[in-house]
A and B are shown apart, each in its own frame.
Chain A
């Protein structure tokens, strides 16, 4: 599909010439968007970088100045921040891996032919279309509530079926806070993974699979040697896009546990340092560290996306 676009710059560079006006005419439609994006998305990071070297606490205005690497040292030795780094990694990896696996399973199921497939697909997408704050509230109050939440209600009901009188009624959020947040996020992100993987499954080369089947390959062999290699790119794409969004998750942590019980991740901790502790310098240093970590992840992500672009060109 992108073949033509890749060819076009070559074709045009032949008659490039010294016509600067023509070049600017070509650039003109791009400039508003580019300038807007640079100003609003890049300048704040430059400001964050500068503030990260300052001693600046809004609650202590008399004590301001250049801090050198002081904020970075404070960040590196701050237990709360260090534990939020660990929480962020655990939360992101757990949610991405589990929702990718569930998404793969569901995509394989949806790839089969059965009655009501369109309707099942619609049901499976539903979690992703609930506003994230609403979804987090739903899990917190309606599902996890220890007294009359749906989970404990279901336990009572199931126990009742078998004549049990004392069903377990765990307080989900306080006994397993991390799993509680992760489960809510997995529920929301599995449909996202499923949609991307389903698109991958449906773009499989049908003839190769048919040929393999003719040659007597088992369904497992077809999955292992044809489907999975084809899906690799889509798994990577889903994993990386998911990581980018979930590393930044704020809504679920804020709503379900308010960052308590060891669930505070970096976005939440930075938010708190900014807007409750008002330590602008230290929060900015933490922000810079998160940006650097994101750039590392982003480099891999961009490589995957560009390989996907190139493959589109080849096919």
Chain B
């Protein structure tokens, strides 16, 4: 095939890419417009740019400050990702490098927990939190996010650790290397990309989560997605502010996802697709 024959596909791909990115680009552009320019028909593409939407969002005027929810989201997402890694890496080790008996049954048990609908378990969790005074508590949410992401992390880490060559483990043993040396010299280099992919996915899923946060938190421990739901009924009166809010809250995920696009595929398919 000649290069010329491929040209139209490239054009189609560019058109599709622009079409899919358009709402996101429009969101970012609108966030830099004034409220009056944001709400015009037809849309004012070339209106002057301003930071007033962001000033409004960060509480220059009225309304609640977005900082507590952003900090809550960050601490629940980062905290749960760290705990997930601490639990998942040893578990993955016991499912791949030094496997327990029936390791694949255990692996599929972890996966099956992801397939149960979260909403069906929410009521007992809510009642438990109410009973033990853990409602509106960011630590409790962190623990729930840990349980939400742990199965994914075990799968991902196992698929990476399974790539550690047996010969190298045996060679290390013959050379008299201890467990710590083996882990550091042989396992860690293979595990590092896996830890990166796992962290990325766990962080994104925790940051995005709404149902648990909506049910279990209130004024103190509310997360960024819960904060966003306060815009649901405002009927688009403050489009620039809504766009600024959506942009700020999506920014960590957009940045992390763009920076690690290849890790995203591995993570989303639980390591089944490399």
Smallest Cβ-Cβ distance to A131: which chain B residue: B250
Report Cα–Cα, A289/B215, bound state, in Å: 21
Count of A interface residues, CB-CB < 8 Å: 117
Kindly list chain B residues whose C-beta atoms are within 8 Å of the C-beta of A177.
none
| B108 in the interface (beta carbon within 8 A) | yes
Contacts of A59 in B (CB 8 A): none
CB distance from A165 to the nearest CB of B (A): 13
Evaluate whether A125 and B258 lie within 8 angstroms (CB atoms) in the complex, with A8-B166, A154-B43 already known: yes
The contact of B42 among A137, A160, A247, by CB within 8 Å, is A160
Q: Indicate if A134 sits at the interface (CB-CB under 8 A).
A: yes
Which residues of B, 12-67, contact A by the 8 Å Cβ criterion?
Answer: 12-14, 16-18, 20-21, 23-24, 26-27, 30, 38-43
Please tell me if the beta carbons of B24 and A130 are within 8 angstroms of each other in the complex.
yes
Contact B210 A124 (CB under 8 A): no
Q: Which residue of B lies closest to A302 (CB)?
A: B108
A185-201 at interface with B (beta carbon < 8 Å): 187, 190-192, 195-196, 198-200
Contacts of B258 in A (CB 8 A): 122, 125, 129
Nearest CB of chain A from residue B195's CB, rounded to whole Å: 15
A308 interface hit (Cβ, 8 Å)? yes
Asked whether B23 lies within 8 Å of A114 as measured between CB atoms, the reply is no
* Contact present for B162 and A5 (CB under 8 Å): yes
Cross-chain contact A33 with B111 (CB below 8 angstroms): no
A interface secondary structure, majority: helix
A139 proximal to B (CB < 8 A): yes
Interface residues on B, range: 35 or more
Contact with B along A19-59 (1 / 0, CB 8 A): 00001001111101110110011111101100100000000
Asked whether B242 lies within 8 Å of A196 as measured between CB atoms, the reply is no
**Candidates A13, A147, A196; contact of B101 at CB < 8 Å:** A13
CB distance from B126 to the nearest CB of A (A): 7
Within 8 A of A (CB), among B177-236: 204, 207-208, 210-211, 214-215, 224-225, 228-229, 231-236
User: In the assembled complex, which residues on chain B have CB atoms less than 8 Å from the CB atom of A141?
Assistant: 231, 234-236, 239, 242
**Are A121 and B261 neighbours in the complex by a CB distance under 8 Å?**
yes
Question: In this assembly, does A301 line the interface, its C-beta being within 8 Å of a C-beta of chain B?
Answer: yes
Which residue of A9, A23, A126, A258 has the most chain B CB atoms within 10 A of its CB atom? A126
> Bound state CA distance, A284 and B119, in angstroms?
10
Q: How far is the CB of B140 from chain A (nearest CB, A)?
A: 11
The CA-CA distance from A168 to B93 in the complex, in Å, is: 61
Set of chain A residues within 8 Å of B235, measured between Cβ atoms? 141
Closest 4 CB pairs of A and B: A114-B10, A287-B120, A29-B90, A44-B121
Which A residues fall within an 8 A CB radius of B? 1-2, 4-5, 7-9, 12-13, 23, 26-30, 32-34, 36-37, 40-45, 47-48, 51, 105-106, 109-110, 112-117, 119-135, 137-143, 145, 147-150, 152-154, 156-157, 160, 187, 190-192, 195-196, 198-200, 234, 237, 241, 244, 247-248, 250-251, 254-255, 258, 266-267, 270-271, 274-275, 280, 283-284, 287-288, 290-291, 294-295, 297-298, 301-302, 305-306, 308-309
* 24 residue pairs bridging A and B, Cβ less than 8 Å apart: A32-B91, A33-B91, A36-B87, A37-B151, A47-B127, A51-B123, A110-B13, A117-B10, A120-B13, A129-B250, A129-B258, A131-B246, A137-B231, A137-B245, A138-B27, A141-B239, A142-B30, A198-B265, A241-B270, A251-B210, A284-B123, A287-B123, A290-B120, A294-B115
